[in-house]
């Protein structure tokens, strides 16, 4: 299982993150009190979702022998009024360098919702927090 180590530095909202042998920084924009040294936590969430969708679609297309070329995913979020109040909706605008058929588009849309990150976001999950 994946493990990520994070440390909030002494510089207000600057977080240093280590993932295997990769490093990233997380920060807030200046308007939110940060120094804008990195993407925000929500931007990383969008990145995780969009990249997972693109990779999942590529894997599926390769298994099917479909050449889609470059796959682009734009992620945004909107609020939608429901009977239970306001819900957050992630919007994925997915496009392909090489146009898939209508039947392929239908199947690709189904597969996009099956990427592991999308499944985690959609599901009921438990977060176990331990204070050490």
Per-domain boundaries in the chain: 1-38, 41-122
Q: How confident is the model at residue 123 (pLDDT cuts 50, 70, 90)?
A: confident
Contacts (Cβ under 8 Å, ≥6 apart) of 79: 86, 87, 88, 89
Check residue 70 and give its pLDDT: 98
pLDDT at residue 109 tops 80: yes
| pLDDT tens digits, 27-62 | 999 999 999 999 999 999 999 999 999 999 999 999
> 121 is written with which tokens?
């976001």
Residues in the chain: 132
Average pLDDT value for residue range 72-100? 94
- pLDDT above 80 for 124: no
- What dotted CATH number matches 41-122? 3.30.300.20
Report angle CA 68, 74, 99 to the nearest 5 degrees.
25
């Amino acid at each position: 299982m994946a493990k990520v180590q994070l440390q909030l530095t002494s510089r207000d909202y600057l977080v240093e993150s280590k993932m295997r042998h990769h490093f990233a920084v997380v920060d807030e924009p200046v308007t939110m009190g940060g120094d804008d040294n990195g993407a925000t936590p929500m931007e990383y969430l969008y990145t995780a979702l969009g990249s997972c969708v693109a990779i999942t679609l590529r894997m599926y297309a390769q298994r099917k022998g479909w050449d889609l070329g470059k796959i682009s995913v734009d992620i945004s979020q909107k609020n939608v009024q429901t009977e239970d109040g306001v819900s957050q909706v992630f919007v994925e605008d997915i496009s392909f360098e090489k146009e898939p058929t209508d039947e392929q588009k239908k199947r690709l849309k189904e597969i996009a919702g099956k990427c592991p990150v999308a499944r985690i976001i959609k599901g009921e999950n438990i977060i176990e927090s331990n204070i050490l």
